[in-house]
């Protein structure tokens, strides 16, 4: 963890249940980057801090063209943050919402290309090893449209390993606890059972289905019905 690098916040580009994302400028290099900061309300809760640190520790091992690079874990005042690669573009959720609203169908070749690049990134993460050559046993657990970034330059990148399961993590999975977005869970994950890398691959199958049909595979305002 370091406090050496200084960033100038430009604007906030997204907020989730655990963190918010800012576009920022590295004052040392002038490079535009993304800053992911843990929400202030969660910064004093050890469970969320451990998850955030887990994400940083794992992601800094991941160096693949289809995974958003994480560079630094640091402190901004009293708040933990990650500095990350900034991807100028949209996420897959925005594209699918547009397609559904305007009855637009993504060309099959483009949908398949996006799916292949997601799978390439996941294959790398699933097989990633630490500096000693020991497998990290990484499972993303939240492969879903908001976590797939589509760059205006054609890049496809997986982001948000906040729910990752890996050998090195400090936070441990509680048996029976369901993590991830319900509409993209494998049956095993939906039952709260033990999962492996096939759970991530299953989620990519749902993403591909939705890209080809321009509508959600599972959709219900009552989340328990989605699990059923």
Active site residues: 142
Q: Is 179 exposed, middle or buried (0-12, 13-18, 19+ CB in 10 A)?
A: middle
Instruction: Using the structure block, give the residue that is written with the tokens 């690669």.
Output: 85
Instruction: Using the structure block, give the residue that is written with the tokens 């199958």.
Output: 205
Question: How many whole angstroms separate alpha carbon 140 and alpha carbon 138?
Answer: 6
- Secondary element (H or E) of residue 95: helix 92-102
Q: What is the DSSP string of 201-225?
A: HHHHHHHHHHHHHSS-SS--SSHHH
Question: How many whole angstroms separate alpha carbon 219 and alpha carbon 210?
Answer: 11
Instruction: Using the structure block, give the residue that is written with the tokens 């959709």.
Output: 219
């Amino acid at each position: 963890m370091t406090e050496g690098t200084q960033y100038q916040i430009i604007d906030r580009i997204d907020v989730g249940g655990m963190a918010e994302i800012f576009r920022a400028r590295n004052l040392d290099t002038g490079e535009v980057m993304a800053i992911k900061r843990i929400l202030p309300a969660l910064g004093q809760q050890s469970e969320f801090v451990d998850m955030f640190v887990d994400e940083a520790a794992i992601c800094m091992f991941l160096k693949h063209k289809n995974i958003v690079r994480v560079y630094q874990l640091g402190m901004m005042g009293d708040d933990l943050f990650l500095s990350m690669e900034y991807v100028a573009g949209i996420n897959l959720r925005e594209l699918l919402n547009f397609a559904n609203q305007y009855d637009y169908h993504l060309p099959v070749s483009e949908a398949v290309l996006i799916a292949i690049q997601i799978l390439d990134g996941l294959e790398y993460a699933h097989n990633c090893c630490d500096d000693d050559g020991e497998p990290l046993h990484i499972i993303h657990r939240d492969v879903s449209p908001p976590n797939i970034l589509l760059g205006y330059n054609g890049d496809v990148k997986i982001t948000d390993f906040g729910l990752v399961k890996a050998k090195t993590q400090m936070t441990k999975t509680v048996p029976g606890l369901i993590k991830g977005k319900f509409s993209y869970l494998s049956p095993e994950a939906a039952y709260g059972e033990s999962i492996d890398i096939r759970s991530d691959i299953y989620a990519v199958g749902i993403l591909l289905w939705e890209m080809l049909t321009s509508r959600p595979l599972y959709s219900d305002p009552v989340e328990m019905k989605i699990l059923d």
